[in-house]
Structure 1
Amino acid sequence: MPDAFVILFFVIVIAGIVSWLVPAGEFDTTDITTLSGETKQVLDASSFRYSDNYHGLVLFDDTGSRTGLANYAFDGMVSGDKWGSAVGVIAFILIVGGAFGIVMQTGAINNGILALISRYQHADHLLIPLLFLLFSLGGAIFGMGEEAIAFCIVLVPLMTSMGYNGIMAVLITYVATQIGFATSWMNPFSVAIAQGIADVPLMSGQTFRIVTWAFFTTFGLLFTLRYAKHIKLNNFSTCKASQNSNMDSSLEEKVATFTTTDKVILLAFFTGITWVMWGVIAHAYYIPQIASQFFFMGIVIGAIACFGGRMKVNDISAAFISGAQSLLPAALIVGMAKGIVLVLGGDDVTSPSVLNTLLYHTGNVLAQTGTVTSAWLMLVFQSIFNFFVASGSGQAAITMPLMAPLADIVGVTRQVAVLAFQLGDGLTNLIIPTSASLIGCLGVAGVSWTTWAKFIAKFCAILFLLASITVVIAVLTGFS
C-alpha cells in the first residue's frame, strides 16, 4: 500500500481537479437554543446557493489569499488557532506524545504488567481476564497499539507454557487494545482529535462511551475465554519444552524490577488521568488545557523517575523528544489533511467553497435514506477508509472535516459522526493487513495473516453488527 502521505498528495491533486469541475457554494447559518439554554450557530441546509467568487486550484499562490498545490502543506499546518484544527491539534499531538514518551520510558507501565503476569501466571482463570481488561484500558486511556507488539513477545511463551498458543497472546494484547481504542471515552490520539476537528467539546459523551467500552470489552473477553476453553479441550497448544524451560525464572527476574519507584510513577499517572477527566467534566477543559495537563503530568513523572534513579534529566528530555517524534507523522497528516479542505475553498460554510457544494449534494442523497441509515453509512465509510489510512489520528484529520458538517446536513449530531469514526477505525484494525501493529503482533506470535483472517473474520463481523446497533442507538437517543 502507498504511504499515507502519498495517498494524501494524490487526494490533493484530485481535490484540485474537482475544484475546477464543481462550482463553489455557500450556506447561511441559523441560531438554535440547546436544552441547556446555550445559543449555538448551526448550518441551515435549505440556504445553499452557488457562488461565482471562487476559482479552481492554482499551482502556486504568492499572494497569501488562497491555497495552491505548492502551498497546501504549509497553509494546512498553520491554519486555525490553538483551540482546534490544525495548528492546535498538531501542538496537542506533539505535546501529549512527548508526555507519554516520558511515561513509557520510565518502564513503570511495562514493569507493572510484567509483575501482574508473574503473580498470576499459574492462575490463567484470573490472568487472562485481568490482562484483557488491562490492555483494553490501555487502548481506551492512552491509545495503546504498537506497544502490544512488545507485550506479545512476553506473552507468547507464557501462553504456550500455560497450554495455549500464539493466537491467544494476540487476542489478549492487540485485540484488547483495539477494542478499547475503538470505544474509548478519552483517547487523546483518536476521540479527542476527532472531537476537536468536529468542534465538539473534548471528551464529551463519556457516559455513553464508557457503557459502550464495557459492553464491547466484555464481549471480546468472552470470545477470548471461549477460545481458551476450546484450546484446552482439544489440546491445540503449540507449547514446546524449549519455550518453557526458563519461564518461571525469567518472570521472577522481571517482577524483581517492579519497585517502589514504579508504584509511585503509576500512582502519579492515574492521578494525572483523573485530573484530566475532572477538568473536562467540571470545567469543560479543551485542547490547550488538556495538552498542558498531560505536559505537566509528564514533567512530574519524569521528576519521580529522576529522584528514583530511573532516569537522568537529559533522559527526560530525550524521552519527550522521542515521544513527540513518534507522533510527528500523525501531526503532519493533520496539517496536510487540512490542506485538502483549503484547496477546496475552506470549511467555513458561509464562504464560497467546493466542499460546501459536495456536502450539499451528498447530504441530499443521504437525507433521502433517513438519519439512521445516514449514520450507518458513515460507519461503513470509516470502516472502508481505514484500510487505506490505518492511523487513527490521520483518519480523523482526513475524514472528520467532511463528516462533521455532513452530519449537520443529514440531521445527526456531530457526536454521532465522531462515534462512527471511532468504531469504524478501531474495530477494523483487527483484520486489515495494512495495520503495522497487527502484522507486528502476528509476526511475533508466529501466525500468518491468512490464518488470522480466517480465525477473526466471524468475530469482526459480529463486532461490526454490534457497532451498527450502537450507532443506531446513538442516533435514536440523540447522542450529543
Structure 2
Amino acid sequence: MPDTLIIIFVIGILAAALTYFIPAGSFESQDVTYLVDGAEKTRSVIDPSSFAYATDEAGELVYNKVSFFASGGGIGLMNFPFEGLVSGSKWGSAIGVIMFMLLIGGSFGVVIRTGSIDTGILHLINKTKGSEALFVPVLFALFALGGAVFGMGEEAVAFAIIIAPLMVRLGYDSITTVMVTYVATQIGFASSWMNPFSVAIAQGIAGVPVLSGMTFRMALWAGFTLIGIAFTMMYAARIKRNPTSSLTYESDAHFRAQEDTSGKVKEWTLGDTLVMLTVLATTIWVVYGVVAHAWYIPEIASQFFTMGFIVAIIGTIFRLNGMTLNDAAAAFKEGAELMLAPALLVGCAKGVLLILGGDSSDASVLNTILNSAGGFISGLPDVVAAWLMYVFQSVFNFFVTSGSGQAALTMPLLAPLADIAGVTRQVAVLAFQLGDGFTNIIVPTSASLMATLGVCRIDWGVWIKFCGRFIALLFVLSSVVVVGAHLAGFA
C-alpha cells in the first residue's frame, strides 16, 4: 500500500477534478430549536428548499475550478496541504486538533519518561497472569460506553498512548489497542441512545422527540458492542498464539523495545504512585468536564498539559528514572515530535475537504452533491430509500466527519425527503447515526482516527487492510438494522 500521505494527495487530485465537472450550488440557512433535557437548543441548519446553482452575470453555471496553485488564501492543488493545516479554529479541525495532538503527545511523553508506566505495566502483568484476556472485553465495553454517553472520540488518542505498550507486553499488538480504544468509541457513538453531539442534535433537527427510541438504541448498542468485543477477542487470541502474524509486528518493535530486559521488575515507589494517581485524577476530571460542562478540545488539552506539568515536578522531586527538569522538557518535546506525522495527515485531509468547499457557507461542489443525492433518494421505493439514506450518510461522512456538522447539513434535507419516500423520520435519524459513526473507523479525513493510528505507529494503508472485513460486517448489519427498523415502523 502507498504511504497515507500519498493516498490523501491522490484523493486531493480527484477532488480537484470534480470541481471541473460539478457546478457550485448553495443553500440558505435557517435556525431550528429543539429541547434536550428540558433545555431549549438552537442550531443553524440548511433550508432544503432553498438550493440554487451559482450563476455568473450571463446566467451561466459557475464552476469553482481548483487551479494548480492559488494565491491570496485561496485553495489550489499545491497549497491545499497548507490551507488545511491552518484551517479551522481552536475548537476543531484542523488547527485545534493538531495543537491538541501536540500537547497531549508532549504531556504523555513526560509521563512515560518517569518510567512509572513501564513499571506499572510489568507489575500489572505479573499480578494478572492467566486473566490477561479480560483486558480486551473490559476496555472495549468501557470505551464503547464513553462513545455512547458523551461522544468520546478525540480522548481515545490519550488513552492509546498508555494502552499500546500494555497490549504489546500482553502478547497482542497495536491494532488491538486501536480496536479497544478508538474503534470501541465509534461503536458506541454510532449506536448511542443519548449522544449529545449526534443523535440528540439529529433528532432535534428532524423534529423527532429528543432521546426517543432509547430502548431500541440501547439494545442496538449492546449488540454492536458485543460484536465488536467478539471480533477483537478472536483477533487478539490469534495474535497471542502467533505474534509474527500481526500486520504491525515490525512497527510494534518500538513498544517491545521498552520492555525491561534486566529480568526483574523495578521497585514501585511513592513517586510512581503519585504519577499514576495524577494520570487517573486527570482522566476522571476530563470525563467530568466533558459530561457536566461540555468541555471540548481547548479545555481537554489544557487539563492534560497540567497533568504533564505536575508529573514533571513529581518526577524531578522523586528522581524517577533519574529525571531532572531538563529531562522533562526534553521528554515533552520528544512526545510532541511523535505526533507531527499524524498531525500533518490531519491537516492534509482537511485540505481535501476545503477543495470541495466543505468548510464554507458559499456556493460549493459539496452542496451540489448533497442536493443531488437528496433528490435521487426521494424518488425511490420506501425500503430502498431507507437503505440508501444509510449508504449516503456513510459516504458523506468522508467529507464531513463531525457528527453535529453532518447532522446540520444532511438532516434538514433527509427528514422531509423521508416523509415523501414513506420512511419515518426516526429511521432517517437511525440511518444518519449509523452511517456517521461506523465510517469514522476508516475515513482518512477523521482527525481522531489518524491521531490514534499515529500514536500506535500504524499506517492507514495497513489499517485498511486489517479492518476491511470488520467494516463490511458492520455495513451489512447496519443495513439489516435500518431496513428492519423501517419495516417494523420504528418511530
Q: Please state which band the TM-score falls in when normalised by the shorter chain.
A: 0.5 to 0.7
- Tell me if the contact between 2:161 and 2:455 (Cα under 8 Å) persists in the aligned partners: yes
Checking the alignment, whether the CA contact within 8 Å between 1:79 and 1:87 is kept in structure 2 is yes
Distance 1:339 1:459 in 2: 28
- 8 Å CA contact 1:268, 1:301 repeated in 2: yes
The equivalent residue for 2:44 is 41
Checking the alignment, whether the CA contact within 8 Å between 1:98 and 1:319 is kept in structure 2 is yes
For residue 67 of structure 1, the aligned residue among 70, 75, 83 is 75
Residue pair 2:186, 2:440 contacting (<8 A) in 1 also: no
User: Per-residue displacement from partner, 1:157-210 (whole Å, max 9, x unpaired)?
Assistant: xxxxxxxxxxxx45xx743650432232899xxx9xxx9999x89xxx9x9999
- For 1:373, the equivalent position in structure 2 comes to 387
1:138 Cα shift?
7.9
| 2:152 paired residue number | none
Q: In 2, are the aligned partners of 1:136 and 1:176 still within 8 Å (CA)?
A: no
Partner residue, 1:273: 283
Q: What residue number does 2:97 align with?
A: 89
Q: Aligned equivalents of 1:27 and 1:325: distance in 2?
A: 42
Q: Secondary structure at the match of 1:38?
A: strand
Q: How many pairs were matched up? A: 411
Q: Distance in 2 between matches of 1:12 and 1:399?
A: 22
- Could you tell me how far apart the structure 1 residues matched to 2:334 and 2:271 are? 22
- Asked if 2 retains the 8 angstrom alpha-carbon contact of 1:416 and 1:474, the reply is no
Residue 58 to residue 436, structure 1, CA distance change in 2 (3 Å): closer
Three-state SS of the structure 2 residue aligned to 1:34 is strand
8 Å Cα contact 1:427/1:463 also seen in 2: no
Is 2:54 the counterpart of 1:51? yes
Q: Distance in 1 between the 2:328 and 2:141 partners? A: 27
Structure 1 position 42, deviation (Å)? 0.7
> SS at 1:60's partner residue?
coil
Q: Residues 5 and 345 of structure 2 are in contact (CA less than 8 Å); yes or no, is this contact kept in structure 1?
A: yes
Kindly state the Cα deviation for residue 227 of structure 1 after the two structures are TM-superposed: 9.9
- Matched with 1:290 is 300
Deviations 1:282-334 (A, max 9, x none): 22222222211121122122222222212222222222222222222222222
Question: Which residue identity lines up with residue 127 of structure 2 in the other structure?
Answer: R
Cα distance change, pair 220–86 in 1 and its aligned pair in 2 (3 A): closer
- In the TM superposition, residue 272 of structure 1 has moved relative to its aligned partner by 0.5
Q: 2:366 corresponds to which residue?
A: 355
Kindly indicate whether the alpha-carbon contact (under 8 Å) linking 2:198 and 2:404 is maintained by their aligned counterparts in 1.
Answer: yes
Change (3 A) 1:458 1:28: closer
Q: Secondary structure of the equivalent of 2:170?
A: helix
| 8 Å CA contact 1:24, 1:51 repeated in 2 | yes
* Mapping of residues 51-450 of structure 1, within 5 Å: 51-52=54-55, 54=62, 55-64=64-73, 66-121=74-129, 124=130, 126-130=131-135, 132-134=137-139, 142-143=156-157, 150-151=165-166, 154-156=169-171, 169=172, 174-175=175-176, 177-184=178-185, 254-310=264-320, 311-349=323-361, 351-366=362-377, 373-374=387-388, 376-377=390-391, 381=395, 405-406=409-410, 408-411=412-415, 420-426=435-441
List per-residue Cα deviations over 1:340-372 (Å, max 9, x = no partner).
Answer: 2332335323x1111211222133335567785
- Judge conservation of contact 1:341–1:347 (CA < 8 Å) in 2: yes
Q: Give the secondary structure class of the aligned counterpart of 1:42.
A: strand
Contact kept? 1:378, 1:403, Cα under 8 Å: no
CA distance in 2, matches of 1:213, 1:254: 43
Q: Distance in 1 between matches of 2:358 and 2:470?
A: 40
Residue pair 1:428, 1:460 contacting (<8 A) in 2 also? no
Amino acid at match of 2:340: L
Relative to structure 1, the CA distance from residue 292 to residue 47 in structure 2 (aligned partners, 3 Å threshold; closer, same or farther) is same
Deviation of 1:415 (Å)? 10
Contact 2:187 2:224 survives alignment (8 Å): no
- 1:470, distance to aligned residue in structure 2 (A): 7.8
Which is worse superposed, 308-317 or 462-471?
A: 462-471
RMSD over aligned Cα, in angstroms?
Answer: 5.1
- Contact 2:66/2:76 (<8 A) preserved: yes
> What residue number does 1:16 align with?
16
Any idea what the Cα deviations from partners look like across 1:58-80, whole Å, max 9, x if unmatched?
2222333x222232122222222
CA distance in 2, matches of 1:6, 1:229: 33
Which 5+ residue runs of structure 2 have no aligned equivalent? 57-61, 147-154, 203-210, 244-259, 416-424, 445-452
Instruction: Kindly provide the amino acid, as one letter, of the partner of residue 118 in structure 1.
Output: N
Superposed CA offset, 1:199-234 (max 9, x none): x89xxx9x999998876665566678899999xxxx
Provide the rounded CA distance (Å) in 2 between the counterparts of 1:420 and 1:345.
Answer: 21
Partner of 2:150: none
Partner Cα separation in structure 1 for residue 354 and residue 471 of structure 2 = 36
CA distance in 1, matches of 2:111, 2:478: 32
Relative distance call for 1:255 and 1:421 in structure 2 (3 A) is farther
Mapped to 2, the partners of 1:288 and 1:33 lie a distance apart of 27
CA gap of 1:363–1:90, structure 2 versus 1, over 3 A, is: farther
Which region of structure 1 is more displaced relative to structure 2, 339-348 or 132-141? 132-141
Residue 29 to residue 186, structure 1, CA distance change in 2 (3 Å): same
Q: How far 1:335 sits from its partner (Å)? A: 2.0
| Offset at residue 404 of structure 1 (A) | 6.9
- Normalising by structure 1, we get a TM-score of 0.67
CA gap of 1:375–1:129, structure 2 versus 1, over 3 A, is farther
Counterpart of 2:366, as a letter, is L
Query: 1:114, 1:251 within 8 Å by CA — same for their partners in 2?
Result: no
Structure 2 contact 275–311 (Cα < 8 Å) conserved: yes
The residue that corresponds to 1:161 in the other structure is none
Letter in 2 for 1:142: A
Q: Matches of 1:82 and 1:215 in 2, distance apart?
A: 36
Structure 1 residues 8 and 153: alpha-carbon distance in aligned structure 2, compared to 1, 3 A threshold: closer
Unaligned runs of 5+ in 1: 157-168, 231-235, 240-249, 386-394, 430-434, 441-448
Q: Distance in 1 between the 2:275 and 2:350 partners?
A: 37
